[in-house]
Structure 1
Amino acid sequence: MADKPPEERVAAINAPAGASERLVYVMPEHLMRDSSDDEIDLRELWGIIWAGKWRIIAVTVLFATASVAYALLATEWYRAEALLAPAEEKSAPSLGGQLGGLAALAGLSIGGGDSVDAIATLKSRELAKEFISDNQLLPILFRERWDASNSRWIGDDPDTYPDERDAVRFFHQHILQVSEDRKSGLTTVAIEWHDPDLAAAWATQLVEMVNDKLRERALAQAEANVAYLQLELAKTSVVTLQHAIGRLLETELQKVMLARGNNEFAFRVIDAAQSPKYRASPKRSLIAIVGTLVGGLLGLLWVFVANAFRSH
Structure 2
Amino acid sequence: MTGLLDDLLGGLALGAVYALVALGFVVIFKASGVLNFAHGSLLLLGGYLTAVLHDDIGFAGALAVGVLATALLAGVIDRLLLRRGDPDPQHTAHVQTIVTIGVDIVLLTDLSRRIGGDLLVLGDPWGDAVTRVGPVTVADSRLAAIAVSAGAIAVVFGLFRYTRWGLSLRAAGEDLEAAALMGVRLSRVRTLAWCLAGALAALAAVFLAAFPAPGLERTTGQIALKAFPAAILGGMASPAGALAGSLLIGLTEALVAGHQSELRLLGEGFGDVAPYAVMVLVLLVRPTGLFGTKGAARV
Shorter-chain TM-score: what band? under 0.3
More helix, by proportion? 2
TM-score under structure 2 normalisation?
0.22
TM-score under structure 1 normalisation?
0.21
The structure with more radius of gyration? 1
